[in-house]
């Protein structure tokens, strides 16, 4: 090896060496702005929400001493009813979307039919359409008084959609649909036709192939899509408030109750309900990531 002698050069200076750590320019500027904006706009406000719930009271058992009022509000009958509605109906709507979303994803990837591109683009409509417009239109369709369908349903069968949980269910079905389709679609497209052919060659009929080959492959994506639709439904506000009538105990969803608390200047109560919703969202996102994790691990194996 070539010997190097360069006594004239300064020995390496470890302290100076640490100054420049990145090759491309702009690291401090862009990360700095990113962190500042994220903290100022999202993290600090969320922290303010959580801190608002801490109001020490004395007449509660140990843990609840800190958040006594919030405990009262969060476990109030009206709150419990609103959770039941928000979570229960969101769950049912997510299941409905699971079925119809899968059918749509299947049809859109496997069949050729006229207008396919337009239908495919239409699936994203609930993403792009403002929720209040959706709410207004759905109300006009399902209203008992002069609604396009609602009037007929009421006159012929005595069914009410508006001002009932059915209305909420319809609004949430509208909102959640694209989540399932867009999560399942790429997986159906990637399903190797060879696997199905192999199954068919082994003597499986179409029905067996469906249950034993297709369903297991699509299940993680379907579950993810359903969870996403569920998560979105739990927090949904705009499309529901028009059609549901927001009657306490009956058709009042949790986000609406939060707004009511704010209008009564019960900031602590509103914050408490906000934290409950935040925790639920966290749980749902955690579940989605868990599903993804196990799905990707199985793919590796």
Site for another protein in 159-198 (CB under 8 A): 170, 173-174, 177-179, 182-183, 185-187, 193, 196-197
Residue 61 or 297: the one with the smaller Cβ distance to another protein is 297
Gap between the Cα atoms of 242 and 284, Å rounded: 26
Instruction: Locate 202 and state its tokens.
Output: 């082994």
Residue 34 or 155: the one with the smaller Cβ distance to another protein is 34
Stretch that binds another protein, among 59-67, 70-78, 103-111, 155-163 (CB under 8 A): 103-111
CB 236 within 8 A of CB 175: yes
Task: Please give the DSSP secondary-structure letter assigned to residue 210.
Answer: I
Residue 61 or 146: the one with the smaller Cβ distance to another protein is 146
Chosen residue from 27, 211, 249, 294 binding another protein by CB under 8 A: 27
- Residue 55, SS3 per DSSP: strand
Minimum separation from the CB atom of position 64 to another protein (A): 21
Q: Decide: is 2 part of the binding site for another protein (CB under 8 A).
A: yes
Residue 166 or 179: the one with the smaller Cβ distance to another protein is 179
Residue 23 or 62: the one with the smaller Cβ distance to another protein is 23
Q: Decide: is 134 part of the binding site for another protein (CB under 8 A).
A: yes
Residue 42 or 250: the one with the smaller Cβ distance to another protein is 42
Q: Decide: is 237 part of the binding site for another protein (CB under 8 A).
A: yes
CA 136 distance to own-chain centroid:
22
Instruction: Locate 4 and state its tokens.
Output: 């190097």
Q: What residues numbered 252-291 form the site for another protein, per CB under 8 A? A: 255, 258-259, 262, 265, 267, 270-271, 274, 277-278, 281, 284-285, 288, 291
Q: For the packed helices 77-110 and 267-300, what is the interaxial angle rounded to 10 degrees?
A: 30
Cα distances (angstroms) measured from residue 1 to each of 4, 7, 11, 276 = 9, 18, 21, 68
Q: What residues numbered 43-82 form the site for another protein, per CB under 8 A? A: 43, 45-46, 48-49, 52
Q: What residues numbered 30-49 form the site for another protein, per CB under 8 A? A: 30-31, 33-35, 37-38, 41-43, 45-46, 48-49
Q: Which residues contact 133 (CB under 8 A, 6 or more apart)?
A: none
Gap between the Cα atoms of 280 and 235, Å rounded: 10
Gap between the Cα atoms of 57 and 71, Å rounded: 11
Minimum separation from the CB atom of position 50 to another protein (A): 10
Instruction: Locate 9 and state its tokens.
Output: 């050069």
Q: Decide: is 228 part of the binding site for another protein (CB under 8 A).
A: yes
# binding residues, another protein (CB under 8 A): 115
Residue 20 or 297: the one with the smaller Cβ distance to another protein is 20
248-274: string of b/e by CB count within 10 Å (b at 16+)? Answer: eeebbbbbbbbebbeeeebebbbbbbb
């Amino acid at each position: 090896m070539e010997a190097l002698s360069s006594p004239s050069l300064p020995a390496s200076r470890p302290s100076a060496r640490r100054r420049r750590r990145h090759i491309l320019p702009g690291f401090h500027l862009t990360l700095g702005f990113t962190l500042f904006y994220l903290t100022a706009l999202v993290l600090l406000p969320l922290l303010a929400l959580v801190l608002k719930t801490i109001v020490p009271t004395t007449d509660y058992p140990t843990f609840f001493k800190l958040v006594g009022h919030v405990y009262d509000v969060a476990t109030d009958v009206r709150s419990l009813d609103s959770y039941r509605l928000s979570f229960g109906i969101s769950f049912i709507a997510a299941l409905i979307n699971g079925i119809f979303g899968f059918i749509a994803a299947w049809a859109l990837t496997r069949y050729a039919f006229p207008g396919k591109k337009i239908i495919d683009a239409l699936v994203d409509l609930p993403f792009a359409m403002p929720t209040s417009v959706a709410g207004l239109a759905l109300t006009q369709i399902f209203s008992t008084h002069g609604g396009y369908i609602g009037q007929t349903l009421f006159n012929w069968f005595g069914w009410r959609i508006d001002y009932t949980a059915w209305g909420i269910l319809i609004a949430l079905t509208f909102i959640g649909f694209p989540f399932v389709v867009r999560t399942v679609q790429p997986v159906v497209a990637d399903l190797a036709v060879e696997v199905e052919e192999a199954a068919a060659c082994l003597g499986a009929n179409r029905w067996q192939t469906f249950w034993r080959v297709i369903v297991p492959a699509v299940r993680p994506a379907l579950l993810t899509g359903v969870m996403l639709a569920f998560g979105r439904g739990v927090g949904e506000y705009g499309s529901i408030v028009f059609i549901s009538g927001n009657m306490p105990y009956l058709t009042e969803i949790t986000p609406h109750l939060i707004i009511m608390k704010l209008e009564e200047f019960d900031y602590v109560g509103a914050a408490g309900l906000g934290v409950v919703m935040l925790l639920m969202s966290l749980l749902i996102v955690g579940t989605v990531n868990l599903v993804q994790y196990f799905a990707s691990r199985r793919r590796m194996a």
